[in-house]
Chain A
Amino acid sequence: MFTAAGGAISSPCMGSILIVNGRVIDPASGHDAVADVAIEGGVVRAIGAGLSRGPADRVIDAGGMLVAPGLIDPHVHLREPGHEHKETIATGTAAAVAGGFTSVCCMPNTSPAIDTPEMVRFVYDRGERTGRCRVFPVAAATRGRLGEELAEIGLLDSAGAVAYSDDGDCVATAGMMRRVLMAVAATGKAFMQHCQDSTLTRGASMHAGAVSARLGLAGWPRVAEEVVIERDVMLNRGVGCRYHVQHLSSGGSVEIVRRARAGGQLVTAEASPHHLLLTDEACEGYDTSAKVNPPLRERADVEAIRAGVADGTITVLATDHAPHSADEKNLPFEESPMGMVGLETALGLYREALVETGAIDWPRLIALMTIEPARLCGLDRCGMGMIGVDGPGDVTVIDPEASWTVDPGTFAGRSRNTPFSGRRLTGRAVATIVGGRVAWEYTGRG
């Protein structure tokens, strides 16, 4: 039932786990109190104070910890098939569980693209056979992600695509975009737009500003993102597709989404850890670890995105986990690929950007990483993104005070491309339980 259309971790788990004394935060129900959680047969059996320890195979003492629904990342790149030297479903999900995620939604910019029902089934199959957490495919909205012909969205829907996106590329023309919105609207799923008018970003490898001017790099203006959101919001009027803006990078984009939501439009948006913390100055010295699409912008943008999270304009957090090999990232800046890994550092970075600054509190942060992305991808209908009796045994135990240092050498994922190497973080997942099994535990190293 809750394993969506084949949503990974297929064999039922017979063992039982009792998590005791933790602060159980379930934003969907509003539960926020110290309690025990009993998981058995892959399912949450009971939540309450003083549950009997008797029959549990495993007792996890979560005193001082937060017990959250399993974290969900609705935007990751697992690179399989086609780019297995960067990441695979096996290594990417290993990174996911190390970061506390029990479900990830993977983008279709693989080779070949996830644009057929067969490819959707391939991802589910590989996820079940090699994944450490649940893997849900986001399917391409157009064939080959080329923006020219509509993909078989009806068939993709039946195969279990949880959302649609040409991520990595924007659906460029208004005509095709309108057809995509109509087709996706008919499925009830969300369309996730990679907002980039490529006619404004030709040759660009970083934010257009003082730093790009000094470095002699072609600049990527904010308006390249904003103009697409504004257009799509207009196109979607009267169509009513669930339209989702991926990885917002500009303060102007936040304002467009804010206005559209206030006007009653079906618009959601996500923010990524790096856009909540870093600016274009991270690219100084041609540091390719900070080269990302969309680019890191300026302090005012970082503040505006945090404000957007604080006031509810931005409801989803997503890492845009984008692994690349060291050889690729060691190329000259303009030739180096865009993207950074994010799954293993996300929680601590979100805490620093949003909780430490007072933008939101822990329960809201957990909502942005659980029930909100679950709703975006329709996983809430399978009980994901929440902790409920008879719901899936997906639980993340978080130590909100754990202090640790980012060391890419200890990453579980295959790639190491992060601009956060050496950063001291507070807060991390200490146990990741997927379908009633402990998929990962923090051993205190790293």
Chain B
Amino acid sequence: MSSSPHGTIGGWSHHHLLGLQGLDAASIRAVLAHASRIPACGPSGASEAPRRDDLRGRTVATLFFEDSTRTRTSFTLAAQRLGAETVDLSGGVTSVNKGETIVDTALTVEAMGVDAMVIRARQSGAAAMAARRVSCPVINAGDGCHEHPTQGLLDILTIAEAHGRAETFDLSGLTIVVVGDVTSSRVARSGIAGLTALGASVVAVGPPGMVVPAHTHLAAPGGPGQVSVRHDLDPVLAQADAVMMLRIQFERHGDAPSAAGARRGAVIPSIREYRHGYAMTAQRADTLRPGAVVLHPGPMNRGLEIDGEVADGSRSVVLRQVSNGVRVRMAVLAMCHAAARSSRPFA
């Protein structure tokens, strides 16, 4: 345990985790280091889940104003494994559907007495809005097309472990290819910000509109890592140390296109054209160099952006991502809670 004299963990001083953009490399390394010391469990790790008591006697609320099962479950398990009680307000039952604002809901939940809240919403900036008003830690579990910082952290942890960088979390020299709908992806924004802050080079690849020149600005300001953008996947696969496949978010792009035809409002003309250019097929996976891994944040559209053969194959670290998600969320909840308590020791 690396608790500092002031009660913070690993020097982490942030009450909230709202995004990886603008977060310094030392803070990112601190949370990854803490997560990496929590034993992994599940098929790839220990059979028994780790138990800690960082949040014993505390309550963590999950406020999911947008559909999610996986992330909510992951946060709930993380909180429970830290000894916390959890309370859930998921989309169908929250008052936001009755016209109450997200901030009102957050204030209401806080007034009932919670020690941290995990917020997902379809509006970019929603978690930050709530964080400005409540005094307990707020963890952003995805805000619109903006950020999903715990997903970014778990992706980075997974990549670092796969390449033996989990001691230093120095990713310099690694090339990470991010494929798909970067424009709509909060997973990509968080991942790219964190990866580049730790020194990795990122190549964003996708069809025009899903990847645009302005995405070079997603790199952490001042580097060290850079982002390049392109619309052709095949030439970059051979340089990739990891490939992060993004889910096509039909819900953000109007109707889903049919297999061969397009519908009005869809960003891509057809699924077959998208697959032709950007799907991680078995054939493409074969062109990856040894040691390169394939990530997907889930839920996967099998047979669309990724073939089942690859998702279940030897290069896939998809389930390791899921398992690392719990470790990362345990680390984040514990560290934010400790930071908040250290600044208000009698609270």
Q: Is the CB of B123 within 8 A of A332?
A: yes
B125, B145, B189: the one contacting A286 at CB < 8 Å is B125
Contact call A216/B217, Cβ cutoff below 8 A: no
Enumerate chain B residues within 8 angstroms of A334, measured Cβ to Cβ: 123-124, 144
- Per the bound structure, the CA–CA distance linking A216 and B183 in Å amounts to 7
Question: A350–B280 Cα gap in the complex (Å)?
Answer: 55
Q: Compute how far the CA of A214 lies from the CA of B220 in the bound complex, rounded to whole angstroms.
A: 10
A386 within 8 A of B: no
CB of A388 within 8 Å of the partner chain: no
Docked pose: A247 CA to B278 CA in angstroms:
41
Whether, in the assembled complex, A402 has its beta carbon less than 8 Å from a beta carbon of chain B, the answer is no
B315 at the interface (CB under 8 A from A): no
Per-position binary interface string of chain A over residues 193-212, scored 1 when its CB falls under 8 Å from any chain B CB and 0 otherwise: 00000000000000011101
CB closest chain-B residue, reference A287: B125
Contacts of B123 in A (CB 8 A): 332-335
Q: Do B212 and A215 touch across chains, with their CB atoms under 8 A apart?
A: no
When the two chains form their complex, are residues A213 and B124 in contact, meaning their CB atoms are under 8 A apart? no
Say which residue of B102, B103, B143, B214 sits within 8 Å of A219 (CB atoms): B214
From the candidates B129, B144, B215, name the one contacting A213 in the complex (CB within 8 A).
Answer: B215
Q: Given contacts A216-B144, A331-B101, are A210 and B128 in contact (CB under 8 A)?
A: no
CB contacts (< 8 Å) of A215 on chain B: these are 124-125, 146
Tell yes or no: A285 within 8 A of B by CB: yes
Contacts of B330 in A (CB 8 A): none
A residues within 8 A CB of B144?
Answer: 216, 332, 334
A421 on the interface (CB 8 Å rule)? Answer: no
Does chain A have a CB within 8 A of B218? yes
Whether the Cβ atoms of A216 and B103 lie closer than 8 Å is no
Task: Tell me, in angstroms, the Cα distance from A74 to B128 when the chains sit together.
Answer: 38
Q: Whole-angstrom distance between the alpha carbons of A330 and B107 in the complex? A: 15
Q: Mark B174-218, 1 if CB is under 8 A from A, else 0.
A: 000000000010100100000000000000000000001011011
Q: A217 to B212, alpha carbons, bound, how many Å?
A: 13
Task: List chain A residues, Cβ under 8 A from B215.
Answer: 213
* Chain B residues, CB < 8 A from A214: 21, 189, 217-218
Name the CB-closest residue of A to B144.
Answer: A216
Q: Please indicate the chain A residues that have their CB under 8 angstroms from the CB of B147 in the complex.
A: 216
Q: Which residues of B contact A209 (CB under 8 A)?
A: 214, 217
List A contacts of B186 (CB < 8 A). Answer: 216
Contact A213 B145 (CB under 8 A): no
Task: State whether A286 touches B124 (Cβ < 8 A).
Answer: yes
Task: Report Cα–Cα, A102/B124, bound state, in Å.
Answer: 41
- Smallest Cβ-Cβ distance to B121: which chain A residue: A332
* Nearest B residue (CB) for A212: B214
Q: State the CA gap A217–B186 with chains docked (Å).
A: 11
A333 close to B125 (CB less than 8 A): yes
What residue of chain B has the Cβ atom nearest to residue A208's Cβ?
Answer: B214
A214–B21 Cα distance when bound, in Å, is 8
Q: Is B126 an interface residue (CB 8 A)?
A: yes
CB <8 Å contact, B214 and A210? yes
Provide the residues of chain A in CB contact with B103, threshold 8 Å: 330
Q: How far is the CA of A258 from the CA of B218 in the complex (A)?
A: 35
| Nearest A residue (CB) for B22 | A214
Q: Is A332's CB under 8 angstroms from B126's CB? A: yes
Q: Are A285 and B128 in contact (CB under 8 A)?
A: yes
Of B146, B184, B215, most buried by chain A (CB within 10 Å of CB) is: B146
Q: Contact: B189 with A216, CB < 8 Å?
A: yes
What residues of chain A lie closer than 8 Å to B145, measured between beta carbons? Answer: 216-218
Report Cα–Cα, A210/B212, bound state, in Å.
11
Contact A286 B218 (CB under 8 A): no
Residue of A nearest to B193 (CB): A214
Q: Which of A327-380 contact B (CB under 8 A)?
A: 330-335
Q: How far is the CB of B209 from chain A (nearest CB, A)?
A: 11
**How distant is the Cα of A216 from the Cα of B212 in the complex, in angstroms?**
12
Please determine whether A213 and B128 come into contact, CB atoms closer than 8 angstroms.
no
Q: Find the A residue at minimum CB distance from B212.
A: A213
> Are A333's CB and B124's CB within 8 A?
yes
Which of chain A's residues 298-341 have a Cβ closer than 8 Å to chain B? 330-335
Chain A contacts of B217 at CB under 8 A? Answer: 209-210, 213-214
Interface string of A272-315 (1 = CB under 8 A from B): 00000000000001100000000000000000000000000000
Contacting A at CB under 8 A, from B84-127, are 101-103, 121, 123-126
Chain A residues with CB under 8 A of B143: 216
Residue in chain B with minimal CB distance to A209:
B214
A213 to B217, CA, bound (A): 7
The one of A212, A216, A218, A332 that contacts B129, using a Cβ cutoff of 8 Å: A332
How distant is the Cα of A217 from the Cα of B102 in the complex, in angstroms?
19
Asked whether A332 lies within 8 Å of B214 as measured between CB atoms, the reply is no
Q: How far is the CB of B297 from chain A (nearest CB, A)?
A: 15
How far is A209 from B212 in the complex, measured between Cα atoms in Å? 10
B123, B143, B189, B215: residue with the most chain A Cβ atoms closer than 10 Å:
B123
- Chain A proximity of B5: nearest CB distance (Å): 33
Q: Scan residues 134-151 of chain B and give those whose CB is less than 8 A from a CB of chain A.
A: 143-147
**Which residues from A are CB-within-8-Å of B184?**
216
Question: Does A216 contact B146, Cβ atoms closer than 8 Å?
Answer: yes
Nearest B residue to A284 by beta-carbon distance? B22
Residue of A nearest to B126 (CB): A332
Using CB atoms and an 8 Å cutoff, list the residues of chain B in contact with chain A.
Answer: 21, 101-103, 121, 123-126, 128-129, 143-147, 184, 186, 189, 212, 214-215, 217-218
Closest 8 CB pairs of A and B: A286-B125, A216-B145, A332-B123, A210-B217, A216-B146, A213-B214, A216-B124, A213-B217
Q: Besides the contacts A216-B144, A286-B128, A332-B121, what 13 more A-B pairs have beta carbons closer than 8 Å?
A: A210-B214, A213-B212, A213-B217, A214-B189, A214-B217, A215-B124, A217-B146, A218-B145, A219-B214, A330-B103, A332-B124, A332-B129, A333-B125
Q: Would you mind naming 25 contact pairs between A and B with Cβ atoms under 8 Å apart?
A: A210-B214, A212-B214, A213-B212, A213-B218, A214-B21, A214-B189, A216-B143, A216-B144, A216-B147, A216-B186, A217-B145, A217-B146, A219-B214, A285-B125, A286-B125, A286-B129, A330-B101, A330-B103, A332-B121, A332-B123, A332-B125, A332-B129, A332-B144, A334-B124, A335-B123
